[in-house]
């Protein structure tokens, strides 16, 4: 009983600190001085580091989904609707969620470890004493880069998913690639596209903020760095599902679908 109470208190405290950290990000996010050069560098690093992984997983998810759906769709006589089905599934859910989870593993842990080791070896303090605000230089740029790059990576994953799906379909019959993509996008409504895109910005925010928070306040020692990277992944994955649920619920109410 006592253990449960103290664990709950610990979790609540962590939630409070993470919220305060997020608040601090928003406070500095749009005000000067703006570290433009570092932001560009981070966008490139974050986008490029995960691009290949996203390309590969998107394509494979497209293959798998199509193979799995096929028998049932044939049973229902609906196999012609494959592009509609896969397109909507990818744009609404699979693309954003798979990309976000992969980025939580790749980018989130990378940021956690990088900032963690900078904290432990006093590099963050060194920035501070040279008259640079390390929160602006390190945290604000990385979170912005995540917010901006994640939607792009999701678009890439969606496209690769459809391509994978088309690849399976083309081995089973005559379909043209242009027709396949046309069908897929023709089936989509504004209620599919807008909420899905909006939520990917929030996914980027979650990954960036949690990774930075864990690294920035990393405990001393190399074990602290490892824990920072690890818990960045665990916590952001959990939060991603939560944000996804809230986003879907909100979209459901707003677009009545």
Partner 1 sequence: MKTPRQHTDTTPLIEITSLTKSFGTNAVLRGFSLRLLPGENLVILGRSGSGKSVLIKCLIRLIEPDGGDIRIMGQAVTQLDRASLDRLRTEVGFLFQGSALYDSMTVRENLRFPLRRHPERAQGVAEDSLIQTALESVGLAHAIDLLPAELSGGMKRRVALARTLILKPRIILYDEPTTGLDPITANEIIQLMLKLQQELGTASLIITHDMDCARVIANRVIILHDGINYAEGTYSDLARSRDPHVRAFFKDTNSPYHD
> What does the binding site for partner 1 look like in residue numbers (CB under 8 A)?
114, 117-118, 121-123, 125-133
Give min distance, CB of 43 to partner 1, in A.
16
Tokens (6 digits) for 80: 């012609």
| CB closer to partner 1 out of 84 and 128 | 128
How is residue 93 annotated by DSSP?
A: I
Give min distance, CB of 104 to partner 1, in A.
22
Asked if 212 and 236 touch (Cβ cutoff 8 Å), the reply is: no
Give min distance, CB of 110 to partner 1, in A.
12
How is residue 131 annotated by DSSP?
A: T
Give min distance, CB of 199 to partner 1, in A.
32
| CB closer to partner 1 out of 23 and 131 | 131
Asked if 53 and 155 touch (Cβ cutoff 8 Å), the reply is: no
Q: CA nearest 58: which of 91, 22, 19?
A: 91
| CB closer to partner 1 out of 119 and 183 | 119
What whole-number distance in Å separates Cα of residue 219 and Cα of residue 114? Answer: 13
Asked if 133 and 100 touch (Cβ cutoff 8 Å), the reply is: no
| CB closer to partner 1 out of 37 and 77 | 37
Give min distance, CB of 27 to partner 1, in A.
12
| CB closer to partner 1 out of 41 and 172 | 41
What whole-number distance in Å separates Cα of residue 184 and Cα of residue 117? Answer: 45
């Amino acid at each position: 009983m006592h253990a449960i109470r103290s664990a709950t208190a610990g979790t609540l405290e962590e939630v409070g600190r993470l919220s305060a950290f997020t608040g601090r990000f928003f406070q500095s996010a749009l005000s000067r001085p703006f570290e433009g050069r570092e932001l560009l560098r981070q966008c490139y690093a974050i986008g490029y580091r995960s691009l290949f992984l996203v390309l590969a997983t998107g394509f494979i998810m497209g293959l798998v989904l199509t193979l799995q759906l096929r028998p049932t769709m044939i049973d229902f006589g609906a196999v012609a609707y494959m592009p509609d089905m896969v397109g909507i599934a990818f744009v609404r859910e699979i693309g954003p969620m798979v990309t976000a989870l992969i980025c939580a593993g790749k980018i989130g842990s990378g940021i956690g470890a990088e900032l963690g080791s900078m904290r432990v070896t006093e590099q963050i303090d060194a920035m501070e004493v040279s008259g640079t605000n390390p929160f602006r230089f390190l945290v604000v740029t990385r979170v912005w880069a995540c917010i901006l790059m994640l939607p792009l990576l999701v678009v890439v994953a969606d496209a690769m998913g459809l391509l994978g799906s088309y690849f399976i379909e083309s081995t089973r019959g005559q379909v043209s690639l242009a027709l396949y993509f046309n069908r897929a996008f023709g089936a989509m409504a504004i209620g599919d596209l807008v909420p899905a895109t909006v939520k990917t910005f929030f996914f980027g925010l979650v990954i960036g903020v949690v990774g930075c928070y864990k690294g920035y306040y990393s405990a001393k020692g190399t074990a602290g760095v490892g824990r920072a990277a690890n818990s960045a992944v665990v916590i952001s994955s959990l939060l991603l599902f939560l944000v996804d649920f809230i986003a879907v619920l909100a979209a459901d109410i707003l677009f009545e679908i």
